[in-house]
Structure 1
């Protein structure tokens, strides 16, 4: 469990740093927007390239992929139903809420948890790639359509995922993994440095929003056996990914619910994952 705690301590420390910098007036809400844009357009695509380039894409072809897709469909489907029927939210806000409910932190939390709780870091690959290469591009298309003044042409909607920086970075990394090509050191070294900014930028921006934005809870009312079983259950219990807050800020929809969902699920996931591991581990 040390790896799980270490992962959460790292996240909490960076969020606290963002809140402290906001408290000291070193950074403000304008800085939060800059950090979010930097993560969205530059650092996160670089992270996708360097990470997926070294991944074993054959891990995607496993039963875990089906289980991950089913978990997302159930959680997101329940939220979408409530959002459209009860809250009457628009498409963009519903999309952010669905991501907050179902899009898990498979990166900077999923990897250490898979490695230290499940004993194999590769077990997180199906969830990670499903989210990066399918669910996130589709969600970004929905957000683009939802915030547009008028509905864009179908051809533009279908082409939109290929122009999203995160999707492009993911596809480049996937292509490198499939072909076995290596990025030259002259490119790989600066790319790695840029990629290293992604998670810190997201977490610090989130910390700033916690300190200077509305209090967590201001959006209340919307929050709604064996090794394989242990793997899919633990991964399903991961908290909401921090980049959902980045997307919400980028499209200016559902910012509070995304932030509150990250706050609540991050706080609750530690005891939940510990309980799951205790019950399902022989």
Structure 2
């Protein structure tokens, strides 16, 4: 239990450092943009390559993947429908809002939580690869299409993701994992070093944005922020639990793993995507903040109720 709290505390401290350097005037808003771009185009692809290359992809084929996918699909689609009908959000804003409602922090928080709270980092593999190989490429294709001011076409969904640095890093890592090949040490070490910049870069950029950006909620309706937060913290883990336990008959430690991974907070890289495409940045920022704080008691409660 203490290890779970330690993982959250580490993230909070790095975010606080970003807010501090902005508060004392050491950096300005341009630093947040620069850190986000470096994380998006350089560091994150390197991190994804090395992370997935070391992942046992057989876990993706388990029945738990169905529950994980359902847990992500229900809140994402719910926000997309409500966001369009109630707040008339544009396509790019709907994508970011849907991601904020369903895309979990499976990397820099999910891996240590799975390792320490569940006993093995492999438990987060289905969530990690589902997001990186399916949800993220589709979302980025839609964001790219929205940026160019036209409706996404089938060709966009098939081709454009493979021009994105994050997807390229993911696919290269998957290729290494499937074939069992390893990069030569002189090649691997620089990639690992660059990849190590991704998580702190994203967290520092997020801290800077918290300090220099608008206050909580900013210019977005309180109801919209409440919706994304509830969908992520409550609806997603509940759906994952219902599908895993009710439809698939998953029990014991495997059920705990599915629900805990679905209860992880919104990933910081959603804020990076929002900044990169200039879509719903305040909604992404504040949903990450609220779900990161709220997920601590949620995960602890899940551990108490389902743990053995």
TM-score category, normalised to shorter length? over 0.9
C-alpha separation between the residues in 2 aligned to 1:104 and 1:157? 22
Counterparts of 1:1-282 in structure 2, within 5 Å, are 1-151=1-151, 154-218=154-218, 219=220, 220-223=222-225, 224=227, 225-282=251-308
Query: Tell me, what secondary structure is at the counterpart of 1:182?
Result: coil
Contact 1:95 1:143 in 2 (8 A): yes
C-alpha separation between the residues in 1 aligned to 2:169 and 2:285? 25
1:79 and 1:151, CA in 2 relative to 1: closer, same or farther beyond 3 A? Answer: closer
1:234 and 1:257, CA in 2 relative to 1: closer, same or farther beyond 3 A? Answer: same
C-alpha separation between the residues in 1 aligned to 2:93 and 2:128? 23
Contact 1:216 1:263 in 2 (8 A): no
* Deviation sequence 1:56-78 (CA, Å, 0-9, x none): 11111111211110001111011
1:235 and 1:186, CA in 2 relative to 1: closer, same or farther beyond 3 A? Answer: same
Where has structure 1 moved over 4 Å in runs of 4 or more? 151-154
Alignment match, 2:246: none
C-alpha separation between the residues in 2 aligned to 1:187 and 1:30? 32
Instruction: Give the CA RMSD over aligned residues.
Output: 1.2
Contact 1:145 1:157 in 2 (8 A): no
Question: Any unmatched runs of 5+ in structure 2?
Answer: 228-250
Query: What is the number of residues matched between the two proteins?
Result: 282
C-alpha separation between the residues in 1 aligned to 2:272 and 2:55? 24
C-alpha separation between the residues in 2 aligned to 1:265 and 1:151? 31
C-alpha separation between the residues in 1 aligned to 2:53 and 2:148? 34
Deviation at 1:151, TM superposition (A): 4.2
Deviation at 1:155, TM superposition (A): 3.2
C-alpha separation between the residues in 1 aligned to 2:108 and 2:76? 22
C-alpha separation between the residues in 2 aligned to 1:150 and 1:132? 24
Deviation at 1:146, TM superposition (A): 1.5
C-alpha separation between the residues in 2 aligned to 1:94 and 1:240? 15
Contact 2:83 2:94 in 1 (8 A): yes
Question: TM-score if structure 1 supplies the norm length?
Answer: 0.97
Deviation at 1:3, TM superposition (A): 1.6
* Deviation sequence 1:184-203 (CA, Å, 0-9, x none): 11111111110000000000
C-alpha separation between the residues in 2 aligned to 1:85 and 1:152? 20
Q: 113-122 or 145-154: which moved more? A: 145-154
C-alpha separation between the residues in 2 aligned to 1:66 and 1:244? 23
C-alpha separation between the residues in 1 aligned to 2:156 and 2:76? 25
Question: TM-score if structure 2 supplies the norm length?
Answer: 0.89
Deviation at 1:84, TM superposition (A): 1.1
Deviation at 1:152, TM superposition (A): 6.5
Alignment match, 2:235: none
* Deviation sequence 1:115-171 (CA, Å, 0-9, x none): 122222111000000000110000001111122234466534531000000000000
